[in-house]
């Protein structure tokens, strides 16, 4: 069965520091991978997605992610974190012909000044 693992429940970084959020997936075929962000009381906003082609994808708000098939990973990175990046981040993969998203448990990011 398809699954997504985000091993870090909570991460705290200093403003201006680099960030990497980990995501590992289990999927039988070529996956469609997504990163979503959820600010408190808000819905989910797409940061970036990977379907095929270049394994390094750029997203909004300065985020990027790298697809590594050999490691079944799709880690999210940002070179310099801003206080406004504090939120919860979800990695997801599409599963099944109906295209529903299978989410990881999420990583909550706190940013300290």
Partner 1 sequence: GAGVSQSPSNKVTEKGKDVELRCDPISGHTALYWYRQSLGQGLEFLIYFQGNSAPDKSGLPSDRFSAERTGGSVSTLTIQRTQQEDSAVYLCASIPISPAGGQEQYFGPGTRLTVT
Decide: is 104 part of the binding site for partner 1 (CB under 8 A): yes
d(CA 13, CA 34): 22
Decide: is 55 part of the binding site for partner 1 (CB under 8 A): no
- Specify burial of residue 5 (Cβ count, 10 A radius: 0-12, 13-18, 19+): middle
Decide: is 26 part of the binding site for partner 1 (CB under 8 A): no
Decide: is 1 part of the binding site for partner 1 (CB under 8 A): no
Decide: is 103 part of the binding site for partner 1 (CB under 8 A): yes
d(CA 6, CA 15): 22
The contact set with partner 1 (CB under 8 A) reads 32, 34, 36, 41-46, 49, 51, 90, 92, 94, 97-106
């Amino acid at each position: 069965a398809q699954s997504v693992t985000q091993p870090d429940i909570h991460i705290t970084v200093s403003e201006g520091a680099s960030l990497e959020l980990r995501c590992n997936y289990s999927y039988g075929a070529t996956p469609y991978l997504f990163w979503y962000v959820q600010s408190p009381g808000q819905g989910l906003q797409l940061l970036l997605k990977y379907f095929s082609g270049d394994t390094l994808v750029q997203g909004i708000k300065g985020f990027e992610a790298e697809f590594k098939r050999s490691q079944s990973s799709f880690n999210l990175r940002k070179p310099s974190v801003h206080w406004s990046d504090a939120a919860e981040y979800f990695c997801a993969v599409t599963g099944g012909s109906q295209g529903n998203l299978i989410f990881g448990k999420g990583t909550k990011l706190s940013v300290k000044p």
